Amino acid sequence: MRNMIEFEVYGKYALFTDPLTKMGGEKLSYQIPTYQALKGIVESIYWKPTLLMVVDEVRIMNPIQMESKGIRPIEYGGGNTLANYTYLKDVRYQVRAHFIFNPYRPDMAFDRNENKHFNILKRSLRAGGRRDVFLGTRECQAYVEPCVFGEGEGFYDQGEIHYGTMIHGINYPDETGRNEMEVRLWNPVMKEGIIKFPHPDQCTLIRKITEMHPKNFTTIQSADELLSQLEEGGNK
């Protein structure tokens, strides 16, 4: 596949929050990473508004283990609440992803240089990413490095596991062309340790959250325009 990268992401803890557990201030992680969480990791490696990052599949390498912790959430109004957060412990995943040009950002059409972005993406991956990488939440620091997807032995290389209905990801206006923020749901199945994600456009369980408008990048100029302005200024 064109513009594809394969990498391994790992960390001591992960928290892919099930929103049903947040109502009372508690947090319980899903057993597997969501599409949106992995997409965020890819965008931490390299992202531009010109691109849409697409996660194709993830391979679960380590056994699924959970650990509960007593957490004191920050309460700006005061208080001394104790909450219970349940994390995934000692996680390691292999991820395969690629990028396409965002068809809903015609204002960024001048930046659609496939070779440039692919080479920057590969360099950024080798460097460990351009931004902080974390697994679900900020306190779950993670690390990324290139790998060969499918290489090595995984804990779930045999069998099949169904996980029921869970969140796939979030639809934002600059990724759908609709002035709405939406949540996508799906029913993941892990076969021989690998979960293959449908493309966001293929998800049929979609619920509207709120109205939202895409962010404008009106101050961005192409390199050709900047060069032309410099040349005009030098001729005056």
Which residue(s) pair with 154 in the sheet?
A: none
What pLDDT, on the 0 to 100 scale, is given for residue 220?
60
- Domains defined along the chain, listed by start: 4-235 (3.30.70.2660)
Q: What pLDDT, on a 0 to 100 scale, did the predictor assign at position 214? A: 79
- The pLDDT, as a whole number, for residue 236 is 56
Which pLDDT score, from 0 to 100, does residue 217 have? 63
pLDDT of residue 25: 74
Residues of the chain with pLDDT under 50: none
Q: Please tell me the predicted confidence (pLDDT) of residue 11.
A: 97
Q: pLDDT per residue over 179-235, tens digit each?
A: 999 999 999 999 999 999 999 999 999 999 899 887 776 656 566 666 676 667 666
The whole-number pLDDT of residue 36 equals 95
